[in-house]
Amino acid sequence: MTYQVVSSQQHMLDVLEQCQQSTARYLDTEFVRERSLYPQFGLLQISDGDSVWLLDPLAIDDLSPLWAWLQQNEPLTVFHAFGEDLELLWHEGAIQFNHILDTQVAASMLGWGSGMGFAALVERVCEIELDKSHSRTNWLKRPLSSQQLQYAADDVRYLIPVAQTLIEQLQQQGLYDACLSECQRLAQRQERDIAKRYLDVKNAWQLNQQQLAVLRELAAWRYQRAAAKDMALSFVIKDPALVALAKYQPESMTRLKQINELSPIEVRIHGSKLLKLIADAKLIDKQDWPSRIHRVIDIPSYKSRSKSLMKVCQTLADKAGVPVASFASKRQVNELLMWQWQGGDESDLPVLLQSWRAAVSADAIHQWLQENPAS
């Protein structure tokens, strides 16, 4: 299957028109993300199952028709390991996919292996070993070589038989709808409240409520600056420095320079702003302080409760016909335990009590929760 490079507005419109007739669209993205906050869009690979196109976003001025096409619920959209692809498309065009399949998720549900790479999937389905020598290409550089373009084209060329094989087996095992439901859940994107960016700071749990109020302001400022400059958060100020600033709350440049986690360059560039942010944050009223951050290991009898719940999940996974890793990850078990411990309600159900899992597990898990109340 040959490919065409799409580098003009009219060619893009022609491709999108042709793809309107397809029952599935196979996509992949290439980008660069080394020092930037957001992925930098380098290439979009598209196939309708018969042809392959490599769309050059750097050569086309108006991508709004592309965003409109991607936003359509039909046809089925297929990716492999779509996490970063969806982050890119969400940032570039606010694309929210609903009817979507991730072949990595599908392979996991079929018991082929958790987190299976695309090359391994292609080798299993097509008995072909992909050339991955161009995986570190600078996709923003032009012109791209024929070898680089072929590498990119292969990512959707072989996605077609891989996806078709997986879909057939999912349908045979009665797992297709569950897989689509899981992929739709994983595909959902939303803007995170900037006031909650402090929750992403590593070791924020070490701080008390007043210190968290300071961290909240520092983390919000850091994110705003990173977004304005499109630079990775760590290139503004690293997490350990934010935690130290929130903990010690220096009031002078002398004290600021004594914080070991803060580099001299960071002090020189941001020192005055940091002191102002800290001073203002210290005036925040107590009633507006964030709640303490709890960890799952703080839950009484966490280890034994986690082990007991995982046994229940293993039984339920067997009943559903999926590997336990696809049914209940450690993170999802922890989410349920934290939800119970903090008195969660029906308006914010954990993953294990939602969607396709609920059809299998709701009664059994509710029974376990009743028999094992949080202390």
User: 193: which DSSP letter?
Assistant: P
Q: What does the pLDDT look like over 90-110, one tens digit per residue?
A: 999 999 999 999 999 999 999
124-128, 296-300, 320-324, 371-375, range with the lowest pLDDT: 371-375
Higher pLDDT, 361 or 27: 27
pLDDT tens-digit map of 163-180:
999 999 999 999 999 999
* Active-site residue, from 56, 102, 154, 155: 155
**What residues pair up with 101 in beta bridges, in sequence order?**
78
Please tell me the predicted confidence (pLDDT) of residue 34.
86
Q: Which residues contact 177 (CB under 8 A, 6 or more apart)?
A: 356
Distance in angstroms (rounded) separating the CA atoms of residues 175 and 171: 6
- pLDDT exceeds cutoff 80 at 277: yes
In this prediction, residues 183-211 reach a mean pLDDT of 95
Task: State yes or no: is 266 an active-site residue.
Answer: no
**Considering the chain, what is the average pLDDT of its residues?**
95
Let me know how long the chain is. 375
Res 374: pLDDT: 81
Active-site pick, 3, 26, 56, 85: 85
Domain boundaries, the chain: 3-187, 194-288, 296-371
Residue 205's pLDDT band, with cuts at 50, 70 and 90, is very high
Is pLDDT at 1 greater than 80 in this prediction? no
The CB density around residue 200, as the number of other CB atoms within 10 Å, is 12
The mean pLDDT value for 323-327 works out to 95
Tens-place pLDDT, residues 12-61? 999 999 999 899 999 999 999 988 999 999 999 999 999 999 999 999 99
If we measure between CA atoms, which residue out of 206, 187, 238 comes closest to residue 78? 187
Q: What is the mean pLDDT of residues 140-163?
A: 96
Please report which confidence band the pLDDT of residue 134 belongs to, taking 50, 70 and 90 as the band edges.
Answer: confident
Distance, C-alpha 102 to centroid of its chain? 13
Q: What is the DSSP string of 278-318?
A: HHHHTTS-GGGSPPPPP-GGGSTTHHHHHHHHHHHHHHHHH
Residue 29 structure tokens:
């993205």
| pLDDT score at 10 | 97
Q: Burial of 42 by CB count in 10 Å (0-12 exposed, 13-18 middle, 19+ buried)?
A: buried
Residue 82, pLDDT score? 97
Are 194-288 and 296-371 the same fold in CATH? Answer: yes
30 noted as active-site residue = yes
Q: Please tell me the predicted confidence (pLDDT) of residue 192.
A: 84
pLDDT band at 131 (very low <50, low <70, confident <90, very high): confident
From the list 151, 176, 198, 223, the catalytic residue is 151
Cα 259 to Cα 282: distance, rounded to the nearest angstrom: 18
Is 1.10.150.80 the CATH number for 296-371?
A: yes
Mean pLDDT of all residues in 139-161:
96
CATH of domain 194-288: 1.10.150.80
8 has pLDDT over 90: yes
Written as one string, the DSSP assignment of 128-179 is -----TTTT--TTSSSPPHHHHHHHHHHHHTHHHHHHHHHHHHHHTT-HHHH
**What is the pLDDT confidence band of residue 79, given thresholds at 50, 70 and 90?**
very high
pLDDT tens digits for range 233-257: 999 999 999 999 999 999 999 999 9
**291-314 core/surface letters (b: 16 or more CB in 10 A; e: else):** eebeebeebeebeebbeebeebbe
Evaluate whether the domain defined by 3-187 bears CATH number 3.30.2010.30: no
Average pLDDT of the residues in 312-327: 95
pTM metric for this prediction: 0.92
